[in-house]
Structure 1
Amino acid sequence: MKDFPPLDSGRGPTVTDQIFGLLYDRVVNLTLPPGAKLSEIEVAAQMGVSRQPVRDAFYRLSQLGFIQIRPQRATTVTPISEEAVLQAYFIRTALEESCIRVATERLTDDHFDALAHLLDLQAREIEAGNRTGFHALDDQFHHDICAYAGLEFVWTLVKENKGHMDRARYLSLSYGADTAFAEHGQILDALRRRDAGAAVAAIRQHLSRIEGIIARLRVDQPQVFG
């Protein structure tokens, strides 16, 4: 099992939230791949906490379908579910298409400049081959559009539902980051022109790539699917 760092006991997220967040990220970025075993006792010991917050974090992850808890047997990371990925895609597309329409009306030149700066940072991460860094900036790009439009709650809903989609997308970044980056540029260009139709079309095309990603992963890495 992968080593886990001690937790920061200072002010901030609760212990359970910190454990959940760390495990969530490691499932999404495949540091904890499908089939990986997790021990409540070992995680608690490595992170310097009691077993209860670990148990609570495990339960939250199991509710998302990320891990399977079986009494008297090992807790394991679940395979990627194609059905769960496509459900997340449906929810995310509906939410972000609605948000992008509002964004075309509300975003300012300062907002556009800030988004352009994010694209510059994304380009650097691609050049450095840093999938984790690019993934974080990808999320920030989508988050900031929602936030600048005054609809940050939309991103909260997206984030609650997109985890399964992220697992598949992360695997694709080794060959698909350049495409994702180019599509971010198309989204920003449509926003700058305040062309709602073009912005919706761009975000729809961007998110729909998940279907092609699944098809390719089915061939290249079939072992990650259930």
Structure 2
Amino acid sequence: MANGGMRAGDAVQLPVIQQSAAPTVADQVFDALKKSILTLELPPGIRISETEVAKLMGVSRQPVREAFKRLSKLGFLLIRPQSSTTVSLISEEAVLRARFIRTALEVKTCRTACSTISMGGMKVLEELVQDQKDAVSSEDRELFHLLDDRFHKEICNQAGVGYVWDLIHDNKSHMDRIRMLSLNPSSLRHALDEHIAILDAISATDPDSAEQAMESHLSRILVLIEEVRQQDHRWFSDTTY
């Protein structure tokens, strides 16, 4: 390799990767465990093991190990080598940190979307809000949670900064648990109303109102923390993950 570069015909050979849109076994294990953690089927503090999960899901330990590592990186699992793996307790400090990051990024993103969004983009947001209305009517909190994320992600996309959602996604795991644990018929409707306010402000190309609506929406997590803590304070830890 002359000058440190690789050229066709050089001795170095790399395998051709076969790409597939289908989720891997590790992806499926990850998704199933994450859902179980968010819905409290696996509550904060419970111990789980690779062997146990592999046996219950009918897979080998390798994809379970990969899923555990991904969940640990997101803050959902606390892995103690040679000891135990537990579903992490909820760190209030981590929730507040995530809220600060989201507010700083999404308020600016929302303002930007007011001047960059297309008619097609507005249609996508409107359809997402309509889907949320349907989820509220059927009291489907898991679907609403999914649509909530899609709504916020789409605002980032329409502002031309889709990569911002990647930053948010990597920092919001504890915030997600608070949101899921607090979703009841009343809070679903409240969140929907807040999304409608955000949508109306963007539609009116009113950046000040959009900023205010988004900041108010993300600040509601402060109320939700107390609601969840009243359900079971043992779910919380002073540790930041």
TM surpasses 0.5: yes
Cα deviation for residue 150 of structure 1 reads 2.1
Does structure 2 retain, via aligned residues, the 8 Å contact 1:88–1:162?
yes
Cα deviation for residue 216 of structure 1 reads 2.2
Q: Which runs of 5+ in 2 are unaligned?
A: 1-19
Cα deviation for residue 72 of structure 1 reads 4.5
Cα deviation for residue 168 of structure 1 reads 0.4
Does structure 1 retain, via aligned residues, the 8 Å contact 2:75–2:173?
no
CA displacement, residues 8-41 of structure 1 (integer Å, 9 cap, x when unaligned) = xx75344333322332232223232112221201
Deviates more, 1:135-144 or 1:11-20: 11-20
Check if 1:200 corresponds to 2:211: yes
Match of 1:167 in 2: 177
Match of 1:136 in 2: 146
Q: Which runs of 5+ in 1 are unaligned?
A: 1-9
Quick one: distance in 1 between partners of 2:89 and 2:194? 28
Match of 1:186 in 2: 197
Deviates more, 1:52-61 or 1:126-135: 52-61
The size of the alignment, in residue pairs, is 217
Query: Comparing both structures, which one devotes a greater share of its residues to helix?
Result: 1
Deviates more, 1:33-42 or 1:128-137: 33-42
Deviates more, 1:188-197 or 1:149-158: 149-158
Match of 2:45 in 1: 35
Q: Which of 217, 229, 232 is residue 218 of structure 1 equivalent to? A: 229
Quick one: distance in 2 between partners of 1:85 and 1:137? 20
Deviates more, 1:62-71 or 1:127-136: 62-71
Give percent identity, aligned residues only.
48
Cα deviation for residue 146 of structure 1 reads 1.2
Root mean square deviation of aligned Cα: 1.8
1:102-117 to 2 correspondences below 5 Å: 102-117=112-127
Does structure 2 retain, via aligned residues, the 8 Å contact 1:28–1:164?
no
Quick one: distance in 2 between partners of 1:208 and 1:79? 22
Match of 1:177 in 2: 188
Cα deviation for residue 44 of structure 1 reads 1.9
The code of the aligned residue for 2:73 comes to Q
Quick one: distance in 1 between partners of 2:152 and 2:53? 32
**Rg larger in structure:** 2
The code of the aligned residue for 1:181 comes to L
Secondary structure of the 2:86 match is strand
TM (normalized to structure 1)? 0.88
Deviates more, 1:41-50 or 1:91-100: 41-50
Does structure 2 retain, via aligned residues, the 8 Å contact 1:79–1:225?
yes
Quick one: distance in 2 between partners of 1:119 and 1:127? 12
Cα deviation for residue 153 of structure 1 reads 0.8
Quick one: distance in 1 between partners of 2:143 and 2:26? 25
Q: Which of 93, 98, 105 is residue 88 of structure 1 equivalent to? A: 98
User: Residues 223 and 146 from structure 1, CA distance in 2 versus in 1: closer, same or farther, beyond 3 angstroms?
Assistant: same
Quick one: distance in 2 between partners of 1:186 and 1:11? 36
Quick one: distance in 1 between partners of 2:21 and 2:229? 43
The code of the aligned residue for 2:110 comes to I
TM (normalized to structure 2)? 0.83
Moved over 6 A (4+): none
